[in-house]
Structure formats: C-alpha cells, structure tokens
Amino acid sequence: MSRILVFQHVAAEPLGTLDPLIRRRGHRVKFVNFERQPEAKPRLDRYQGLIVLGGPMNVEERDARAHLQTEIEVIREALVQGKPVLGICLGAQLLAHALGGEVRRNAVSEIGWYELATTDAGRSDPVLAPLGAIAPIFQWHGYTFDLPAGATHLARTGTCENQAFRHGGNAYGFQFHLEMDKPLIERWLELPAYRDELIAAGLGRDADSIRADTFARIEAMQQRAHAVFNNFLDLVGTPARRRRLAATA
C-alpha cells in the first residue's frame, strides 16, 4: 500500500483540494497534526512521499515549538532517501531551512490574490509548468526564504521574489496556497486570528474585497492547481495495486 506522510500544523490549514487528488490515485494519507501531537516523532520509512503544510507559526520559533526541528530532520531524511517532498507556505520555509536557506520576515505581508510570474525554469518545470507565465494565486504569509544553494528558482511576485523552488528532481517549495477553495478561504477570513492578521498587515484590502477576488479567480487557479498537484503526485508514483488493476483492465 502506497502511503504519503502529511505534516499538519493547525486544523484550519488542511490539504484542501490536494486531498481528493491524492486519494483518487489510491494513496493512503497519514496525518501528523502537531497542534494535537507536538511531541510526535514520525518516521519516514513506510512512506513514499512527504507533504508539509502551512501554519501560523514560523521557523524561528523552533525553541518554543520543538516539533519544527523534528519536521526539519524528517525533511532532511526524505531528501537523503530521494523521496518526493512538497512544502506549502510554512512547509516551503521549513524545506528551504532544511537545505540551508535563511527564513526571514518579508518586506510586506502577502494576503489575498496576487499575480504569480514563473521564471524560464518554472515555465518548463515538469511540475509547475501548468501555471503558465502568469497566474492568479492565493497567498497568506508574512515570511519568506532565501533560495537554498543548488535550488532552482521557479516563480516570483512583485512583492516576494522567492515564491517557488525545486531542489534536485523531486523536492518542491511553494510559498503560495494552490490548495485553496472557496470554503477554505472563507474559513480563514472568518477566523479571528487570521482576520486580525489581515487588518494588521495594512494592505488596503479587507475580507469583502478578498471574497470578490476569490469569486473572480478561484476557478482558474483550481484548474491549474489540479494539473500541478497531479504532476507532483506522478513523482510519488502509482500504488502497485492500481498498476495491477490498470494492467488487467
């Protein structure tokens, strides 16, 4: 049975639209929710891939949140084993840190919808290429990362240079949130802590303007997101049982 290990930090930041794509492939998902199990010590041996989700904490909080160091160590183990890794938002920052890149506060927070521009490498990347040259992308972050040594820069926005990178052939960091749908965005806009973060960011937009942008842009992002995520899942492979069924069909 093919299994994917998923690190989750808070209930409000799940796999989103990536979840049904994984299950449709026939993979089992093992969640480690560090909000509920901060002392968990997951092992990677039985898993074919690793996904690290977002969260409101930051890499610099490792002393107060020991699980962040645990995650970094598992990410490094996955890299050594050559297993596919996808880091989303905080997950991308943890991946960058595991590879030696600095994680720091961005000049401005990015919350809401932004135009993401792919680099030449991003437009030809086997995972990220479906985004095209420019794509509307949902963001919610105040930190960024420096590109790790040896990594390939894949995408940027006007207010955050390092939005996506690839390390080797199968480790990806996405600062943005391709996994969002309308209900999940609405959930974030209604959460007091997230709403306070939006207000404090002073970006000149409010929840209603983000809702309006979501109505106009979510469908285009989801179409591209499905293609990107399926490309990543191609790296994980097809479970043996699914391959046998396909061969006998």
Please tell me the total number of residues recorded for the chain in this structure. Answer: 249
- Between the alpha carbon of residue 219 and those of residues 17, 111, 116, 178, the distances in Å are 12, 18, 16, 11
Q: Give whole-number Cα distances, 183 to 97, 171, 180, in Å.
A: 31, 29, 8
Q: What is the pLDDT of residue 241?
A: 46
- Indicate whether 200 belongs to any domain: yes
Question: Which residues in the chain belong to E strands, given as ranges?
Answer: 3-8, 28-33, 49-52, 85-88, 103-118, 134-145, 152-157, 160-167, 171-174
Say whether pLDDT at 246 is over 70.
no
Section 91-98 average pLDDT: 98
Query: 51 with 15: CB under 8 angstroms?
Result: yes
Average pLDDT, the chain: 94
Active-site residue, 89 included: yes
Q: Is residue 249 included in any domain, yes or no?
A: no
| CATH code for the domain of 163 | 3.40.50.880
For residue 187, which of 140, 133, 141 has the smallest C-alpha distance?
140
- Any idea which residue has 């809702």 for tokens? 211
Q: Out of 13, 67, 71, 89, pick the active-site residue.
A: 89
Report if residue 60 sits inside a domain: yes
Average pLDDT over residues 63-67: 94
pLDDT of residue 1: 60
Could you list the residue range(s) of the whole structural domain that residue 62 is in? Answer: 3-243
**Within-domain flag for 55:** yes
Residue 248 counted as domain residue: no
Residue 179 maps to a domain: yes
Number of folded domains that form the chain: 1
Is the residue at 234 inside a domain?
Answer: yes
User: Which of 9, 97, 141, 177 is an active site residue?
Assistant: 177
153 part of a folded domain: yes
Which residue in the block uniquely carries the two structure tokens 């926005």? 157
Task: Please name every residue paired with 5 in a beta bridge, in sequence order, or none if there are none.
Answer: 30, 50
Q: Please give the average per-residue pLDDT across 53-76, as a whole number.
A: 96
- How many whole angstroms separate alpha carbon 35 and alpha carbon 67? 9
